[in-house]
Structure 1
Amino acid sequence: MSTTERPRILVVGGGYVGLYAARRILKKLRYGEATVTVVDPRSYMTYQPFLPEAAAGSISPRHVVVPLRRVLPKAEVLTGRVTSIDQDRKAATVAPLVGEAYEVPFDYLIVALGAVSRTFPVPGLAEQGIGMKGIEEAIGLRNHMLEQFDKADSTNDPDIRRKALTFVFVGGGFAGAETIGEVEDLARDATTYYPGIRREDMRFLLVDVADRILPEVGPKLGEWGREHLQKRGIEVHLGTSMTSCVDGHVVLSNGIEVDSDTIVWTAGVKPNPALARYGLPLGPRGHVDTEATLRVKGTGHIWSAGDNAQVPDLAAREAGQENAWCPPNAQHALRQAKVLGDNVVAALRGFPETEYRHASKGAVAGLGLRKGVAMIKLGPLTLRLRGRLGWYLHRTYHGMAVPTWNRKIRVFADWTLALFLKREVVSLGAIQNPREEFYEAAAPVTASAAGQSDDRRAGNTGRRQRANAR
C-alpha cells in the first residue's frame, strides 16, 4: 500500500456499491485530488444475478466476475478484511490474507460490505447445505449435481440412487426460483449422456415459508412461475420450512421427508455481521442507518448503501407508504452507488449533497432456457411478460447491467454460442481439492525416499567409524 498526503477515500467492500461508487468517484476526481482505496477479501466483484446461469453452465464462471484491479486501475486495491474502524482517529484496521494486520488512515469512508446468507439453526444445515452467494458456490453446485448423476448411473443400490437424484432448494425468491429453473434444465440435458437416468427418476423440491414464490414480480407472475415449475415436474411446497437435514435426511414442516445429497439454501440474506464491530448506528435488522443522502446518521464523513444499508425510500414514501425502505436488490444498489459517489466528491469539495430517490422500474427473472417473467413499470402502466418474452427481457436487462463492456461482450458471446452448441455436461469435481491426487502419488515416494536417505546416512556413519578404527 502506498502512502499519500492527499485525502483518502476508503471503500470497505468491492461488491455492487463498492465497485460502482469507486468508479464514479475516480471518474469525477481531478488529478491528484484524492486517493481511493478499496478493501475486499476477494480481488473481484461477482455479478450475482448470473450465478444461476453459471451453475447451469449457460455462462462461463470467469465472465460472471469482474476483477477489481482491472476495472479500477487508478485505485489502490487491498485484498483483506477491515476488522475494526476507529472513527475518532479516522483509521481502519485491515487484516490481509497473510501477515499481520495494519492500519489504513482515511478522510472519507464508504461502508459497502453487502449481505451474507440468512440462515436459521436447522440441524444438519451447516454440514449439508450449499449456498448461492458467490461464484465458488455456483461452480460447486454444478460440479456436485453432475457428480450425483455419475453416482446414480454407477450404482445398483436403489437407496443411493434415489438420494443422489433428489434435489431440495430452500427459498422461493429470485435466487431459489431462478437456480432451480436453470439446474432443472441442466438435469434434463444431462439425461442425454446418461442412458440409465430419466427425468422421471429425479425429484426436485422447492420449499418456502411464504405463500408464493418470486414476490418481487408481483402475485400474478409469481403464480404463473409456480404453475410453470410444477408443470416441469418440480414440487413446490409453500408455507413450509425445513426443520432438519441431518445426514441428508430432509424433514419438512408439512410432514414430507426425503433423503437428498443436494440441499441448496437460498432463503434470503442479512447484513454482513462485521458491521457490528464498526461502531456505526444500526437499524433493527442490523443494517447501517443512513440519511436519504446515504450519509450514515450521526457522522460527517461516512456513507453506506446497498444490501448492508437501511436507506429511506423517498419515492415510496411520497406515494403514501410510510416508513418505506429501499429493498436490497441490484436495481437500487447500482443507482445508490452513483449518488453515493457524487455525494462523497461533493463533500470533498464542500458542495451540498443530493438525496437518493428512485421509483422501482420493475423486475425480471429467468426460470431456465427460454423461460422467464418480467414486470415493467411504464409510468401508470405495468407491463407483465412471461415465457419466452420475459426471458428475452431478463437477458437483455442483465446483459446490459453487468459492469464493463468486456464482460458484456463475453456474456453475449456465451449466449450466442449456446444457440449453436450443446450445453457442456462435465463435472470437474476434483477442483474442490486439486492436490489430493498428487498428494496420494507423492506421499509414499516421499516416505520411501526418507527411509532410503536414513539408510544411506547410517551406512556413511558406519564407514566413517570403521575408517577411524583403522
Structure 2
Amino acid sequence: MPEGLRQVAAKCSRGCDHACEAPHEVTPRGGWILDGMSTTERPRILVVGGGYVGLYAARRILKKMRYGEATVTVVDPRSYMTYQPFLPEAAAGSISPRHVVVPLRRVLPKAEVLTGRVTTIDQESKVATIAPLVGEAYDLPFDYLVIAMGAVSRTFPIPGLAENGIGMKGVEEAIGLRNHVLEQLDKADSTNDEDVRRRALTFVFVGGGFAGAETVGEVEDMARDAAKYYPNVRREDMRFILVDVAPGILPEVGPKLGEWGLEHLKSRGVECYLGTSMKSCVGGHVELSNGLEVDSSTIVWTAGVKPNPALARFGLPLGPKGHVDVDATMQVRGSGHIWAAGDNAQVPDLAAGKDGAYCPPNAQHALRQAKVLGDNIISALRGFPRRAYKHGNKGAVAGLGLHKGVAMIVVGKTRIKLKGRLAWYMHRTYHGLAVPTWNRKIRVFADWTLAMFLKREVVSLGAMEHPREEFYEAASPVTAAATEEAAAERKTRVKESRAVNHREEAKAS
C-alpha cells in the first residue's frame, strides 16, 4: 500500500469518528485518507493505464479542475509512458531510448501515481483492487473510472513464435532488437561457419503497417552503417525479408504512397512478400505460406495489435473484437461513471458520416480523445453536458530510415502527398512536437541535431539484458568438487616448492 494512504472507518455525515447510533445518514463505505483528504469529501478519478489516453486525460483533468475538486490516481505497471512512434528510431540508435519514455510522476506532479495493476473492478460499489509490484493487493474506492489500458501485440498460434519472436510495443523491445541485431553482426564477422553466418545475417519482419515498415527501414539503415566497421560483413551479405498478408504496405498513407514505400524498400534490397503469412518459425527455421524457407536468428513481429485481454475480467460491455463499447462521449454504455478511449475502446467515428464506423486505433485519435474525455469528466463533476468526440483525419507520416519517408497531410478537402526527404522532415517535425513535455521535445531534437555532425553509435550492449551474470559467476558459491580441486593444486604446489628447496639445500651443502 502506498505511503500516506490508509483506510478509515465509515463516518456519518456530521463527521463523527465514533460508532454513531443517531438516525442521521452514514456514508455507505470507508474512505481513503490521502494528504488529509478523504474520497468521501473529494471525488477520486481513477485512471487505469498510463499510456497516451491515461497520461493526456489525467493532464487535462488536472489542468481543468479547481483546487481540491478531485483526486486523480493513475495506475500502471510501468512508471513511464512510451511514445511508440519513436521506437523504430530508438531501435536504430537515432534517438536515445531514455528520450522515448516520459516519467509519469514528473509529468503528473499533482496526481497520485501507483505502480501496479488493477486486477478487479466492482462497478456497483465503485472499488478497484490494486496489485502493487511488491506486497499484498488492496482495495481502492473511486468515484469516476477511466479505462486506458491500451493494446498488446496481436499474435496467432504460429509454432515457434512465442520462443523466437521479438515485438515492438515497448522501449525494452526496441533496445533489445538493436542489441540483438548488432550481436548478429558480431557473430557473422567472427565465424568461419557459413551456416551460422547466413542465419545471423537474415532478418525477418512480419507486418507491413507503420510499425513493420518503419522498423525494417530503420534497422536496415543502421545495419548498412554498421557494416562499415565489420571487415567480414558487407551489406550484400545481409538479407532483409518483409512479410505481410495484406496486398500492400502502409495502408494509413494510401495506396499510391504505400506503393512508393514498397518500391523504395525493394530498391534497398529488402525482399517483400505480400499476400503471404508465416506458417512456422520453430528453432528459427521460418516457413512462409508461399513456400519460402529460411533460417534466421531475428524474427520481428509487428502484425497488428489487439485490446488488452485484461479487459475481459472487468465485466465491461465489449465489442466483437474485445474493445470496450462506448458512446460518442466515450462513456461506457450502461454506466454513468466509467469512460474509455484509445486502443482499448471502440469509439464511434462521427467524422466518417456512416453508422457502425469506429475510430482507428492510432496515436492521432488517442491524443485527441484523451482531451475530450478529460473535459467530459470535468463536466460530469460539475453537472454540465458532455461533448461528443468528432475528429477528421489530419493525415499520416512514416519514416523509412534516415532522410527517407512518406507523408499524407489533409488540409480541408485537399490531400497533400509527400515522399522522400521532405516527407521525412515532416515525420520528424510532427512527432518531435507531439511527444509530451518540452523536456523530451528538446532532448529529441538535440539527438537529431547531434546526429547531423556525429556518426551513428553501433555498439551492442547485450549484457544489459543480464547485467548480473558476470558478477554471479565471480561470486557464486564454490562447489565441493571445486574445493577439492583447489586443495589438490595447493598440495602439488607445496610438494614442488619443497622439492625445489631440497635441491637448493643439497647444492649448498
Give the TM-score range, shorter chain: over 0.9
- Within 1, Cα distance between the matches of 2:205 and 2:95? 21
- Within 1, Cα distance between the matches of 2:127 and 2:67? 24
SS in 2 for 1:191: helix
Relative to the length of structure 2, the TM-score reads 0.87
Partner of 1:461: none
Partner of 2:206: 170
- Within 1, Cα distance between the matches of 2:251 and 2:123? 39
Match of 2:281 among 224, 245, 268: 245
Per-residue displacement from partner, 1:210-255 (whole Å, max 9, x unpaired)? 0000000000000000000000000000000000000000000000
Partner of 2:224: 188
Per the TM alignment, residue 379 of structure 1 is displaced from its structure 2 partner at its CA by 1.1
Indicate whether 1:22 and 2:58 are aligned: yes
Deviating 4+ runs (over 3 angstroms): 444-451
Partner of 1:161: 197
Match of 1:207 among 223, 243, 250: 243
Per-residue displacement from partner, 1:414-444 (whole Å, max 9, x unpaired)? 0000000000000000001100000000014
Per the TM alignment, residue 322 of structure 1 is displaced from its structure 2 partner at its CA by 3.2
Match of 2:77 among 41, 52, 58: 41
Per the TM alignment, residue 323 of structure 1 is displaced from its structure 2 partner at its CA by 1.4
Indicate whether 1:371 and 2:404 are aligned: yes
Relative to the length of structure 1, the TM-score reads 0.94
Amino acid at match of 1:17: V
- Within 2, Cα distance between the matches of 1:287 and 1:281? 8
| Structure 2 segments unaligned to the other structure (5+ residues) | 6-32, 485-509
Per-residue displacement from partner, 1:326-368 (whole Å, max 9, x unpaired)? 0000000000000000000100111110000000011000000
Indicate whether 1:344 and 2:377 are aligned: yes
- Within 1, Cα distance between the matches of 2:94 and 2:328? 39
Partner of 1:380: 413
Amino acid at match of 1:147: E
| Structure 1 segments unaligned to the other structure (5+ residues) | 452-470
- Within 1, Cα distance between the matches of 2:250 and 2:430? 18
Partner of 1:468: none
Partner of 1:443: 476
Amino acid at match of 1:353: R
Partner of 1:263: 299
Match of 1:235 among 256, 271, 276: 271
Amino acid at match of 1:331: Q
- Within 1, Cα distance between the matches of 2:482 and 2:54? 52
Amino acid at match of 1:436: E
- Within 2, Cα distance between the matches of 1:438 and 1:109? 45
Partner of 1:53: 89
Indicate whether 1:105 and 2:138 are aligned: no
Partner of 2:16: none
Number of residue equivalences: 448
SS in 1 for 2:339: strand
- Cα 1:402–1:450, aligned 2, differ >3 Å: closer, same or farther? farther
Partner of 1:149: 185
- Within 2, Cα distance between the matches of 1:299 and 1:355? 16
- Cα 1:236–1:448, aligned 2, differ >3 Å: closer, same or farther? same
- Within 2, Cα distance between the matches of 1:256 and 1:186? 26
Indicate whether 1:79 and 2:112 are aligned: no
Indicate whether 1:275 and 2:275 are aligned: no
Partner of 1:455: none
Match of 1:405 among 429, 438, 442: 438
Match of 1:312 among 348, 361, 368: 348
Partner of 2:465: 432
Amino acid at match of 1:118: R
Indicate whether 1:124 and 2:160 are aligned: yes
Partner of 1:466: none
**CA radius of gyration, larger in:** 2
| Structure with more relative contact order (C-alpha pairs < 8 Å, separation 6 or more) | 1
Amino acid at match of 2:379: A
Amino acid at match of 1:405: W
Partner of 2:215: 179
SS in 1 for 2:140: strand
- Within 2, Cα distance between the matches of 1:230 and 1:22? 43
Question: How large is the RMSD of aligned CA atoms in angstroms?
Answer: 1.2
Report sequence identity in percent.
81
Partner of 2:391: 358
- Within 2, Cα distance between the matches of 1:207 and 1:35? 47
Amino acid at match of 1:23: R
- Within 2, Cα distance between the matches of 1:90 and 1:450? 61
- Within 1, Cα distance between the matches of 2:479 and 2:335? 60
